[in-house]
Amino acid sequence: MGHQIYGIDFTSAPRAGKPLRCAECVLDGARLTLVSFQAWPDFAGFEAFLASPGPWVAGLDFPFGQSRIFVENIGWPRDWAAYARYVATLERTVFCEVLERYKADRLDGDREHRRRVDVLAGAISPQKLYGVPVGKMFYEGSRRLVASGVHLPLLMPGDRERVILEAYPGVIARFLIGRESYKTDTRRKQKPSHIQAQRAIVSALKTKRFSDVYGLEVCLPADFEPEPSGDRLDAVLCAIQVAAAFLKRDTNFGIPDHADPLEGWICDPTLC
């Protein structure tokens, strides 16, 4: 039958024009097959997914945690589940105010901290509220994860039939095509080159270089076509990352021993 694998491209403000995208896949041995896409225009669909019975494993594209230095400096509980539950008690505007006040009197370079894995992955600080607002994504995502009872390796024990891992498609995209831009949500900035770059990513998934590192054969439908926003492709890349991690499930999904249980870890074999 294979194993149910999901990749979810997350957003802090889902709507009809920018839904949460979910790639549903099946992993049979080392063969990962894309079956279908789902689109959730609000968080209700995502919450229903989290509550759905397993077994399944999913990769979500947002920072699950904050940096240790931030958590310690601001005085939050030094346990992921505890500070995630605390954040869940805050209104979104209050949470944003907390992050802004923290930065206000600090020196340049010491305002928005990155986790250890963010440095390795080339990711921005999970405190960031503007541009790519991953701080807001953390707020909306972590509160739902901690309430769902899912199993979060490294961070929180839960229902081992429903396993969630942090993904970051930018890592695998850079591995495949370097730092070439392959997507943007801003329509006026969308270019034919974004589609070309996405097609290059899809082609690179068929190479020995990819399979040697990720240990997978990826099967996409013949009619799979990229889109300028890159949301569907990002959902697929999240599924690939979590499928590669699932192959290492007997060693804590490939999460290294030095990973910080306060911060979390991005699942990708190139980061270990």
Going by pLDDT thresholds of 50, 70 and 90, the confidence category of residue 239 is very high
> Can you give the pLDDT at residue 174?
96
Q: Which residues pair with 101 in a beta bridge?
A: none
* 103-112, 184-193, 195-204, 209-218: the lowest-pLDDT one: 184-193
Question: Is 38 contained in some domain?
Answer: yes
Q: Is there a single domain that holds both residue 81 and residue 140?
A: yes
Sign of CA dihedral 101, 105, 109, 115: negative
- Taking CB atoms within 8 Å and a gap of at least 24, the contacts of 216-222 are 216/30, 216/31, 216/32, 216/240, 216/243, 216/244, 216/247, 217/30, 217/31, 217/32, 218/32, 218/34, 219/31, 219/32, 219/33, 219/34, 220/34, 221/34
| Residue 77 and residue 83 in contact, taking contact as beta carbons nearer than 8 Å | yes
Last residue of a domain, one of 147, 174, 192: 147
Q: Give 18-66 pLDDT, tens digit per residue.
A: 999 999 999 999 999 999 999 999 999 999 999 999 999 999 999 999 9
Last residue of a domain, one of 117, 147, 177: 147
Question: Is 266 contained in some domain?
Answer: no
Q: Is there a single domain that holds both residue 38 and residue 88?
A: no
The whole domain housing 171 covers 3-63+150-254
Last residue of a domain, one of 116, 147, 178: 147
The CA distance from 102 to 225, in Å, is: 43
Q: Is there a single domain that holds both residue 155 and residue 137?
A: no
Question: Is 264 contained in some domain?
Answer: no
Q: Per the structure, how many domains does the chain have? A: 2
Q: Is there a single domain that holds both residue 154 and residue 249?
A: yes
- Overall residue count recorded for the chain in this entry: 272
Burial of residue 79, with CB atoms counted within 10 A of its CB: 0-12 exposed, 13-18 middle, 19 or more buried:
middle
Q: Is there a single domain that holds both residue 87 and residue 196?
A: no
Q: Is there a single domain that holds both residue 196 and residue 73?
A: no
> Can you give the pLDDT at residue 192?
81
Q: Is there a single domain that holds both residue 240 and residue 156?
A: yes
> Can you give the pLDDT at residue 126?
98
Q: Is there a single domain that holds both residue 249 and residue 154?
A: yes
pLDDT over 90 at 240, yes or no: yes
User: pLDDT higher for 38 or 187?
Assistant: 38
Q: Is there a single domain that holds both residue 249 and residue 173?
A: yes
pLDDT over 90 at 193, yes or no: no
